[in-house]
Amino acid sequence: MAIKPNIGQPLNRLEGRQKVTGSAKYAADYHVPQLLYGYVVNSTITKGKIVRVDTSAAKALPGVVEVLTHENRPGLAWFDLQYADMDAPPGTVFKPLHDNKIRFNGQPVALVVAEEFEIARYAASLVQLDYEEEPFVTSVEANLSKARPAKKGIATALKPPPPAPTGNFEKAYEAAPFKVDAEYYHGNEHHNPMELFATTTVYEGNGKLTIYDKTQGTINNQLFVANVFGLRYKDVRVLAPYVGGAFGSGLRPQYQLFLSVMAALHLKRNVRVVLDRHQMFTLAHRPQNLQQLQFATDENGKLTAARHAAFVETSSYEDYTEVISSWSHRLYPISNTRFEYKVVPLDLSTPTDMRAPGGVTAMHAIECTMDQLAYKLGIDPLELRLRNYAEVDPSTEKPFTSKALRECYRQAADSFGWSNRNPEPGSMTRGNKLVGYGMATGVWDAYQFPSRIEAILTKEGKLMINNAVTDIGTGTFTVMTQIAADELGLPIEDVIFGYGDSKKPFSMFQGGSSMTSSTGVAIVMAAKALKKKLLEKVKEMSDSPLADADEKDLVFRNGRIALVNEPSVHINFQEIVAANKGQAIKTTKMGKPHLLKLRKYSKMTHSASFVEVEVDKDLKTITVTRAVTAVAAGKIINPRTAHSQISGSMVWGISKALQEESVIDENLGKYVNANLAEYHIPTHADVHQLEVIFAEERDELINELGVKGVGEIGLVAMPAAIANAVFHATGKRINKLPIHFDELLE
């Protein structure tokens, strides 16, 4: 009998008290004795080589312990492969302080280690470096001639290259009565989590390290450190119980980890390295890209032809890719398609997945193109989506495990008041403001990765669940506890979830909106195994009242196993532990997706966003006054934390559409707004009414929990919906993000 009192409940975050009292400890918050402070020196040129290093002035400063550069660093692993983390794209991974070559502006070139943070920072300014500069390139638009297909590798398994063309795009496009040909451009964006990238390495002696790191993957970084520095896996422990946001920037080990560990091993001391905000712009970022779209429909608005070509930045040393060009074909049936993806290698650091990578990039272009088509056809933009609604995945002809997108459209449109929209651009006003309504569709993959869970009935009769997964602010800790509590019939307070620690059983890094399905399903599997074990123990117990009971007549509830029909006949967990000579009872189980069964299906989450903007008639300043996003993502375990994931993503949508961009000076090859005053993200004053709707979506196929993940889907539709609303308000199509108000000035 399934009783799930916790799943579906809007529980407050279990770590809430720690977070509001300041006792939650992040990577740079650990007070360890005899701590040394490392400060990174970054390259001031974009490409070339270091020809002279002079660290004498820095070293002469009292309090400075060491200055490490490529000239004096300790010997390291020889093979590039040993530096490759689980998320490394094809190519040659960047190795800090490896040689004198400079590959991007801000590349780490030295680490100053001192007894005090201020001394380290000051000494870093005394390190003298002479460079020989070489010409460099930092713009996709200006270097389209360098575009080429991306190399393939292990990490591209999740990011397949575009599918082969279908039908005959050229012919169909040529013949179509309605068509749109448009180009879209996105600049670079940086994740900018509030927490600075930081690593505190505790040197334990005997080749052992305890590392507090800002990461989305404790095991990924454990393997990286062990491989690079030639340590035994079991001697490297990476801990990240609290992560101050990451959004993808913590998927790969970042250079402060490498430098902190290198210094700790070299000096046999505890070392902390914290990047400053400017240095945060020298690592992960969302790549700049140019997209060309040509979509066509028949007289009735049915899509007949689609071409989507993406030209996307990568670095000079790794071929980072995203899935961009083929998304339209997973959303709309189109007979004639041509999808292309090319990388443009630039002299910038390798891009890294940033919230809804590829998906939000593509859907901005696709859904703005659809909006243009709706205007050409003279039909409502929502009606155009419904006319092209796919009942099966058009790209594979496979049915969906579930798809409640139609419900998303309906509920969001109703709540928003879409029917009040006058389609004529510039026709709706409010005082001195032009009012625009825009809508767009979102789509994202529903991933599930293998995850291993240790489930323990403790001596005290509580359930302990162990897994290496992190909680980067997503609510993982709370959600996993809810799942575990229901599975074993325990109240929340009797479940202990141990996480954020590489010593715990395997988890992939936290990405792809996959943790609730990956870790959650594994918890269900492990709890089932534990229940089986407990039942075996119960049968073995002398004078057990349940000795003859059939398994299906028993229920786990409130810390006891009882007869369904006669709950007074029961055995407490504590009695089982006592019968087990007071010892805890353990199981370990791997949870994995049902690949064979799921091969026949398409697994996706969907969303629809409806946005209202106000544009000042004179100044053209744009405000997102309200937005409604409806999401279909299977079962929602915790509506409160899931709501925050979606509304937080909607704020990201506002940011991407109207605010954030990393501006590159192409003459200097560097970001000129590498700080939080000039890299704009929404402040409280920029965020107005946001409504989140979860459309009911029962999914019996996808996994044991029926969950799909909510970390990214809330962002995907927003930028296009905002851009379409800006068009509706002003009659102007601005296909470059972020939209600047000055582009709307006559």
What amino acid positions are annotated as catalytic residues?
712
**Do the bridges between strand 178-186 and strand 736-737 make them parallel or antiparallel, or are there none, so unpaired?**
parallel
Q: Does 25 bind another protein (CB under 8 A)?
A: yes
Using the structure block, give the residue that is written with the tokens 């509304």: 647
Compute the least distance from the CB of residue 471 to another protein, in Å.
9
Of the pair 309, 636, the CB lying nearest another protein is at: 636
Compute the least distance from the CB of residue 646 to another protein, in Å.
10
Q: Is 17 exposed, middle or buried (0-12, 13-18, 19+ CB in 10 A)?
A: exposed
Q: Does 285 bind another protein (CB under 8 A)?
A: no
Q: Does 640 bind another protein (CB under 8 A)?
A: yes
Three-class SS of residue 639?
A: helix
Compute the least distance from the CB of residue 170 to another protein, in Å.
43
The set of residues, in sequence order, having a beta carbon less than 8 Å from that of 738 and lying 6+ positions away, is 187, 655, 656, 657, 658, 659, 660, 661
CA dihedral over 712, 716, 718, 722, signed as positive or negative: positive
Q: Does 221 bind another protein (CB under 8 A)?
A: no
Taking the chain, what is the end-to-end CA distance rounded to the nearest angstrom? Answer: 67
Question: What does the DSSP 8-state code read for residue 100?
Answer: S
Token representation of residue 239: 């801990």
- Within 224-283, which residues bind another protein (CB under 8 A)? 242-247, 274, 276-277
From 12-20, 392-400, 410-418, 500-508, span contacting another protein (CB under 8 A): 12-20
Of the pair 215, 645, the CB lying nearest another protein is at: 645
Locate the DSSP E strands across 266-345.
270-274, 289-297, 303-314, 336-345
Q: Does 492 bind another protein (CB under 8 A)?
A: no
**Whole-number Cα distances in Å, 187 to 89, 138, 659, 721:** 21, 11, 11, 19
Partners of 671 in beta bridges: 664
Q: Does 663 bind another protein (CB under 8 A)?
A: no
Q: Does 674 bind another protein (CB under 8 A)?
A: no
Q: Does 29 bind another protein (CB under 8 A)?
A: yes
Compute the least distance from the CB of residue 395 to another protein, in Å.
31
Cα atoms in the 13 Å half-sphere on the side-chain side of 422: 10
Q: Does 34 bind another protein (CB under 8 A)?
A: no
Of the pair 376, 640, the CB lying nearest another protein is at: 640
Of the pair 164, 685, the CB lying nearest another protein is at: 685
Using the structure block, give the residue that is written with the tokens 């609303």: 725
Of the pair 249, 294, the CB lying nearest another protein is at: 249
Closest CA to 670 of 52, 97, 49, 102: 102
- Residues 38, 261: Cα–Cα separation, whole Å: 10
- Within 445-484, which residues bind another protein (CB under 8 A)? 472-475
Compute the least distance from the CB of residue 268 to another protein, in Å.
21
- Residues 640, 644: Cα–Cα separation, whole Å: 6
Q: Does 62 bind another protein (CB under 8 A)?
A: yes
Of the pair 141, 686, the CB lying nearest another protein is at: 686
Out of 3, 19, 415, 621, point to the residue binding another protein (CB under 8 A).
Answer: 19
Q: Does 292 bind another protein (CB under 8 A)?
A: no
Q: Does 117 bind another protein (CB under 8 A)?
A: yes
Q: Does 687 bind another protein (CB under 8 A)?
A: yes
Of the pair 19, 148, the CB lying nearest another protein is at: 19
Of the pair 193, 287, the CB lying nearest another protein is at: 193
Strand arrangement, sheet containing 495-498: 495-498, 463-466, 451-457, 585-591
Partners of 429 in beta bridges: 434
Q: Where are the alpha helices (DSSP H) in 453-593?
A: 476-488, 515-540, 573-579
Compute the least distance from the CB of residue 689 to another protein, in Å.
8
Q: Does 595 bind another protein (CB under 8 A)?
A: no
Q: Where are the alpha helices (DSSP H) in 601-741?
A: 639-654, 713-716, 718-730
From 72-80, 399-407, 486-494, 681-689, span contacting another protein (CB under 8 A): 681-689
Compute the least distance from the CB of residue 550 to another protein, in Å.
43
Q: Does 59 bind another protein (CB under 8 A)?
A: no
Q: Does 39 bind another protein (CB under 8 A)?
A: no
Q: Does 683 bind another protein (CB under 8 A)?
A: yes
| Per-residue interface string for the shown chain with another protein, residues 127-166, x marking contact by CB under 8 A | ----------------------------------------
- Residues 649, 716: Cα–Cα separation, whole Å: 8
Of the pair 325, 644, the CB lying nearest another protein is at: 644
Q: Where are the alpha helices (DSSP H) in 7-71?
A: 16-21, 56-60
From 15-23, 83-91, 335-343, 581-589, span contacting another protein (CB under 8 A): 15-23
**Do the bridges between strand 101-102 and strand 128-133 make them parallel or antiparallel, or are there none, so unpaired?**
unpaired
Question: What does the DSSP 8-state code read for residue 342?
Answer: E
Of the pair 21, 565, the CB lying nearest another protein is at: 21
Of the pair 175, 681, the CB lying nearest another protein is at: 681
Out of 3, 20, 569, 672, point to the residue binding another protein (CB under 8 A).
Answer: 20
Using the structure block, give the residue that is written with the tokens 């162990």: 466
Q: Which long-range contacts (CB under 8 A, 24 or more apart) does 204-207 make?
A: 205/268, 206/235, 207/231, 207/232, 207/235
Out of 295, 341, 652, 694, point to the residue binding another protein (CB under 8 A).
Answer: 652
The set of residues, in sequence order, having a beta carbon less than 8 Å from that of 197 and lying 6+ positions away, is 214, 249, 250, 254, 256, 274, 275, 279, 280, 283
Whole-number CA gyration radius for the chain? 27
Compute the least distance from the CB of residue 537 to another protein, in Å.
38
The residue count for binding another protein (CB under 8 A) is: 65
Out of 168, 544, 558, 675, point to the residue binding another protein (CB under 8 A).
Answer: 675
Compute the least distance from the CB of residue 554 to another protein, in Å.
37
Q: Does 32 bind another protein (CB under 8 A)?
A: no
Q: Does 116 bind another protein (CB under 8 A)?
A: yes
Closest CA to 198 of 227, 219, 220, 221: 221
Q: Is 551 exposed, middle or buried (0-12, 13-18, 19+ CB in 10 A)?
A: exposed
Compute the least distance from the CB of residue 442 to another protein, in Å.
16
Of the pair 119, 604, the CB lying nearest another protein is at: 119
Using the structure block, give the residue that is written with the tokens 């969302």: 286
Cα atoms in the 13 Å half-sphere on the side-chain side of 679: 23
From 84-92, 186-194, 393-401, 737-745, span contacting another protein (CB under 8 A): 186-194
- Residues 659, 587: Cα–Cα separation, whole Å: 49
Asked if the bond preceding 738 is cis, omega within 30° of 0, the reply is yes
Out of 205, 543, 685, 746, point to the residue binding another protein (CB under 8 A).
Answer: 685
Q: Does 192 bind another protein (CB under 8 A)?
A: yes
Q: Does 63 bind another protein (CB under 8 A)?
A: yes
Binding site for another protein (CB under 8 A): 12-13, 15-26, 28-29, 31, 61-63, 116-119, 122, 192-196, 242-247, 274, 276-277, 472-475, 640-641, 643-645, 647-652, 675-677, 681-687, 690
